[in-house]
């Protein structure tokens, strides 16, 4: 039986990815987490691993000898990268180097999938949208720089050492269980807290005009598995829906799904030092490689994410979520988001 290793499985994507691998591939799955993290998954052996510990990475790979390595471990927040530049550079660049060097030292050639980001494209010009993999990288923040660097290291290792490395640039992925550092989860949590009476009826938002390409995390991990099976070594593939949506539209959808009266206010703390107006994926290369296309509409993802936060807030406060929205999920008070900003 083939063996897959998911490095950094305790984050948002890990469980979804393992579910997909188990459903589609029949591979044995091992996973790693940080020592302080709580993570378990049915049918999966979980190992503690800090990718900054070069020796530990080598030791684990020698022991497990996986055929497929999904490298998810990262400092994945743009916002945190402004506050913790050392950590971001260390984990995303040095940590990746440790993984690739450990793979290089093996006496066989596992396939590695490196997970990059649309942020690598950075200050995309209007004529470059939708963004293909060949677009010049102009990273606009430190997280983006580290992911661009990871991608380049992957390419160098694939070419120089003949390693079997495939890279992706993932556009925004969303869904239940994402940390509210990210925008859809943040808005859904705020809406659920307002419905539950746990905060004043004001949604605090950052830059609403930015347009981003959002894909359900379950569609994203399906692309990862397909690329692991069919991607070309040394190549990079965009993973996204191919359709950018304004943050304002997402906010409007969430507010319209909410049972509560919600006012919208800009919170200066949520405005990033540099923001980029539009990022949208050209996914022709991904489609040509493995026939992937989005299956879950954004509206479904938003609805499920809001439901997730309602359940979570209700669990935290020991109350029944149906009391705040007797109709189920669709609310009555749609609000034009720009209006109150
Ligand atoms: O930062 P934590 O404690 O949440 O842990 C994250 C973990 N991680 C590490 N793992 C091993 N050694 C390290 N030195 C280290 N530092 C952080 O990687 C977290 O459990 C995992 C990444 O999960 P998330 O931050 O939730 O990212 P997500 O959404 O699962 O995305 C996975 C990949 C990343 O490469 C993103 O940059 C890309 O997809 O969008």
Looking up tokens 């499985």, which residue turns up? 9
In order of 41, 87, 278, the CA distances from 229 in angstroms are 23, 32, 31
The total domain count for the chain is 1
- Residue closest to 291 by CA, chosen among 213, 216, 237: 237
- For residue 325, pLDDT over 50 is answered with no
Burial letters 197-231, b for 16+ CB under 10 A, else e: eeeebebbbbebebbbbbbbbbbbbbbbbbbbeeb
Q: What is the pLDDT of residues 46-99, one digit of tens each?
A: 999 999 999 999 999 999 999 999 999 999 988 899 999 999 999 999 999 999
pTM (predicted TM-score): 0.90
pLDDT band at 206 (very low <50, low <70, confident <90, very high): confident
143-156 mean pLDDT: 98
Instruction: Round to whole Å and give the CA distance between 310 and 28.
Output: 34
pLDDT band at 332 (very low <50, low <70, confident <90, very high): very low
Does residue 61 lie within any of the structural domains? yes
Residue span of the structural domain in which 95 resides: 3-174+214-239
Query: In this structure, are residues 286 and 239 in contact, taking their beta carbons and an 8 Å threshold?
Result: yes
142-162 mean pLDDT: 98
Query: Could you tell which of 17, 34, 236 is best to mutate to test the pocket of ligand 1, judged by most ligand atoms within 8 Å of the CB?
Result: 34
Whole-number pLDDT of residue 232: 98
Q: Which residues line ligand 1 (CB under 6 A)?
A: 8, 10-14, 34, 37, 49-52, 72-76, 91, 95, 115, 117, 170
- For residue 100, pLDDT over 90 is answered with yes
Whole-number pLDDT of residue 269: 82
Whole-number pLDDT of residue 273: 60
Does residue 197 lie within any of the structural domains? no
Does residue 141 lie within any of the structural domains? yes
316-325 mean pLDDT: 58
pLDDT band at 320 (very low <50, low <70, confident <90, very high): low
Whole-number pLDDT of residue 324: 41
Instruction: Round to whole Å and give the CA distance between 173 and 140.
Output: 19
Does residue 182 lie within any of the structural domains? no
CA of 142 to the centre of ligand 1 (A): 16
Whole-number pLDDT of residue 2: 97
CA of 47 to the centre of ligand 1 (A): 15
Does residue 245 lie within any of the structural domains? no
CATH number at residue 13: 3.40.50.720
Does residue 179 lie within any of the structural domains? no
Does residue 228 lie within any of the structural domains? yes
Does residue 303 lie within any of the structural domains? no
Instruction: Round to whole Å and give the CA distance between 113 and 73.
Output: 12
- For residue 219, pLDDT over 70 is answered with yes
Residue 118 sits at the vertex; the CA angle it makes with 117 and 120, to the nearest 5 degrees, is 80
Closest C-alpha residue for ligand 1 atom 40 = 117
| Nearest atom (ligand 1) to Cα of 76 | 37
Q: What percent of the chain has pLDDT over 70?
A: 92
Strand pairing report for 164-170 and 236-239: parallel
Closest C-alpha residue for ligand 1 atom 24 = 11
């Amino acid at each position: 039986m083939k063996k897959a290793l998911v490095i950094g499985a305790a984050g948002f994507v890990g469980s979804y990815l393992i579910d997909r691998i188990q459903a589609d591939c029949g591979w044995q799955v091992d996973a790693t987490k940080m020592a302080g993290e709580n993570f378990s998954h049915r049918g999966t052996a979980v190992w503690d691993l800090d990718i900054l510990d070069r020796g530990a990475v080598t030791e684990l790979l020698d022991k497990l000898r996986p055929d497929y390595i999904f490298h998810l471990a990262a400092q994945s927040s743009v916002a945190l990268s402004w506050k913790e530049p050392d950590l971001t550079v260390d984990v995303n660049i040095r940590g990746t180097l440790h993984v690739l060097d450990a793979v290089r030292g093996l006496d066989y050639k596992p396939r590695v999938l490196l997970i990059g980001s649309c942020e690598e494209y950075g200050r995309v010009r209007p004529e470059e949208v939708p963004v293909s993999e060949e677009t010049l990288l102009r990273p606009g923040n430190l997280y983006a720089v580290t992911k661009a660097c990871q991608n380049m290291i992957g390419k160098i290792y694939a070419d120089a050492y003949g390693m079997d490395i495939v890279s992706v640039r993932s556009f925004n992925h969303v869904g239940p269980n994402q940390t509210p550092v990210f925008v859809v989860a943040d808005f859904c949590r705020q809406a659920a807290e307002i419905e539950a009476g746990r905060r004043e009826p004001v949604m605090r938002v950052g830059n609403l005009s930015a347009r981003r390409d959002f894909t359900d995390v379950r569609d994203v991990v399906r692309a990862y598995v397909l690329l692991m099976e069919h991607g070309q070594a040394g190549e990079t593939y965009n993973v996204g829906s191919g359709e950018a949506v304004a943050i304002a539209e997402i906010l409007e959808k969430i507010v319209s799904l909410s049972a509560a009266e919600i006012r919208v206010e800009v919170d200066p703390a949520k405005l990033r030092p540099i923001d980029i107006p539009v990022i949208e994926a050209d996914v022709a290369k991904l489609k040509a490689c493995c026939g992937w296309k989005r299956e879950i509409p954004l509206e479904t993802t938003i609805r499920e994410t809001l439901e997730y936060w309602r359940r979570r807030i209700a669990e935290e406060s020991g109350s029944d979520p149906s009391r705040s929205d007797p109709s189920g999920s669709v609310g009555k008070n749609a609000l034009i988001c720009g209006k109150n900003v």
